[in-house]
């Protein structure tokens, strides 16, 4: 991210420069639709980020300029001061959630921009929230711990942006560490870093540039399926709170008590929880071939059992398999968006060229390609 344009705009608007902060977008290598089932996710921060320059202005107002939207806004920090601009609600929400937790926030000026692709499932909103949560905590010396900073971002989504998201995106943006992925237990919030240094491989996102409308209603339906399956299993095994607590044989015990659809959804989730653990073991052995195979298994499960893929994503996944890509799967909620691909470096150029051409021939437009490197999360730049 080029910080010079941000600084130039900041100086032109507000005079002297301020402090600069950044936080990253994220990928999730494996562990999809496991968060609300109390399972593991396995994200990492990436080298696509939001950068903000900030300086106190001696007032009780915030003046903010978005370089990407080429727009400015000014607002107070009381609940009734919520701005009408959607992009500004993320910043306002972070301020309000910080104040609710006893943090001090005074008026400041800011200019910010980012290179996290919008609509690609890389959590640009979480990067924005984490940038300002970290910056406000640092500038005003509030002493808020990193877990709470992540929860400030999550609560911003819930209370000011209308999105009932889990904690993974903000957690990855705040806790990200260069060269490591993070296994997060969404039930206990315990986490552990695992090395991710795939020498000889590249992580490549292939963005289908499509998003199908049934995503939100289908998401809710699958969550309800999982809850019904877990409730049926709990009758035999009272210790079960989430599907992540279940053994595969326990699901077989209730096969005749739940619908075939609920059974398939639960079968996917229980398998996916185990795949996250298998990938962690493989990374500790530096075995990226196993990592890749688990990614293919996840895509199969998301497509055939959980049914959240679509024609475009299945095409990209099959193309990757047939062209020697080590691992590939749909990343995110499904029904469009990206596949995440683990590609050997010697195959990279040909794969990118061929997949663009093949997808365009099939669907009439080229996919977007994003190379990503696992990087640090929220931090002060200067």
pLDDT digits (tens, 9 = 90+) for 264-284: 999 999 999 999 999 999 999
Instruction: Give the pLDDT band of residue 166 (cuts 50, 70, 90).
Output: confident
- pLDDT given for residue 56 in this prediction: 97
- pLDDT given for residue 336 in this prediction: 87
CATH code for the domain defined by 201-372: 3.30.70.890
CB atoms within 10 A of CB 29: 29
pLDDT in tens, 44-87: 999 999 999 999 999 999 999 999 999 999 999 999 999 999 99
| Cα 199 → chain centroid | 24
- pLDDT given for residue 152 in this prediction: 97
Position 215 pLDDT exceeds 80: no
- pLDDT given for residue 9 in this prediction: 95
Within the chain, which residue ranges are assigned CATH 3.30.230.10? 3-195+376-380
Stronger pLDDT, 136 or 221, i.e. the higher one: 136
Position 119 pLDDT exceeds 80: no
Position 173 pLDDT exceeds 90: yes
- pLDDT given for residue 213 in this prediction: 62
Instruction: Give the pLDDT band of residue 118 (cuts 50, 70, 90).
Output: confident
Longest Cα–Cα distance of the chain, Å, equals 70
Instruction: Give the pLDDT band of residue 164 (cuts 50, 70, 90).
Output: confident
Percent of the chain with pLDDT over 70: 98
DSSP per-residue codes, 73-130: EEE-SSGGG--SSHHHHHHHHHHHHHHHTT-----EEEEEEE-SPTTSSS-HHHHHHH
Stronger pLDDT, 254 or 382, i.e. the higher one: 254
Instruction: Give the pLDDT band of residue 333 (cuts 50, 70, 90).
Output: confident
Instruction: Give the pLDDT band of residue 1 (cuts 50, 70, 90).
Output: low
Residues forming a β-bridge with 121: none
- pLDDT given for residue 117 in this prediction: 80
CB 279 within 8 A of CB 285: no
Integer Cα distance of 268 and 34 in angstroms: 9
Stronger pLDDT, 11 or 211, i.e. the higher one: 11
Integer Cα distance of 180 and 12 in angstroms: 38
Question: Six-digit token pair at 228?
Answer: 């019904």
- pLDDT given for residue 58 in this prediction: 95
Integer Cα distance of 19 and 34 in angstroms: 38
- For the annotated catalytic residues, the residue numbers are 169
Within the chain, which residue ranges are assigned CATH 3.30.70.890? 201-372
Nearest to 31 by CA among 124, 155, 232, 169: 169
Enter the pTM of the model: 0.91
- 137-141, 161-165, 276-280, 349-353: the lowest-pLDDT one: 161-165
- pLDDT given for residue 121 in this prediction: 73
Question: Six-digit token pair at 118?
Answer: 């919008």
Percent of the chain with pLDDT over 90: 86
3-195+376-380 fold: Ribosomal Protein S5; domain 2 (3.30.230)
């Amino acid at each position: 991210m080029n910080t010079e344009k941000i600084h130039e705009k900041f100086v032109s608007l507000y005079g002297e420069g301020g402090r600069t902060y950044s936080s990253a977008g994220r990928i999730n290598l494996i562990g999809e639709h496991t968060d609300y089932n109390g399972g593991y996710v396995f994200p990492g921060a990436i080298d696509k980020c939001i950068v903000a320059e900030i300086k106190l202005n001696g007032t009780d107002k915030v003046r903010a300029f978005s370089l990407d939207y080429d727009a400015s806004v000014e607002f107070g920090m009381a609940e009734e001061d919520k701005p009408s601009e959607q992009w500004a609600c993320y910043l306002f929400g972070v301020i309000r959630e910080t104040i609710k937790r006893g943090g001090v926030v005074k008026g400041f000026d800011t200019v910010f921009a980012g290179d996290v692709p919008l609509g690609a499932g890389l959590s640009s909103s979480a990067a924005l929230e984490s940038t300002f949560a970290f910056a406000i905590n640092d500038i005003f010396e509030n002493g808020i711990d990193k877990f709470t900073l992540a929860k400030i971002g999550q609560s911003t989504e819930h209370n000011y942006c209308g999105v009932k998201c889990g904690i993974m995106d903000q957690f990855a943006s705040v806790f990200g560490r260069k060269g490591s992925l993070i296994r997060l237990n969404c039930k206990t919030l315990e986490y552990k870093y695992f090395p991710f240094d795939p020498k000889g491989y590249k992580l490549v996102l292939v963005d289908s540039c499509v998003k199908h409308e049934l995503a939100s209603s289908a998401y809710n339906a699958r969550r309800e399926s999982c809850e019904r399956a877990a409730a049926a299993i709990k009758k035999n095994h009272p210790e079960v709170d989430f599907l992540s607590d279940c053994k595969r044989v326990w699901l077989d015990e209730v096969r005749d008590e739940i619908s075939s659809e609920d059974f398939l959804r639960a079968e996917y989730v229980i398998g996916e929880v185990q795949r996250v653990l298998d990938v962690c073991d493989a990374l500790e052995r530096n075995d990226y071939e196993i990592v890749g195979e688990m990614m293919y298994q996840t895509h199969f499960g998301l497509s055939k059992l959980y049914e959240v893929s679509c024609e475009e994503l299945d095409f990209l996944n099959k193309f990757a398999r047939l062209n020697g890509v080590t691992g590939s799967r749909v990343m995110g909620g499904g029904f469009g968006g990206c596949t995440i691909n683990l590609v050997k470096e010697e195959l990279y150029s040909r794969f990118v060229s061929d997949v663009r051409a093949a997808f365009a021939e099939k669907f009439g437009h080229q996919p977007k390609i994003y190379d990503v490197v696992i990087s640090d999360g929220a931090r002060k730049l200067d």
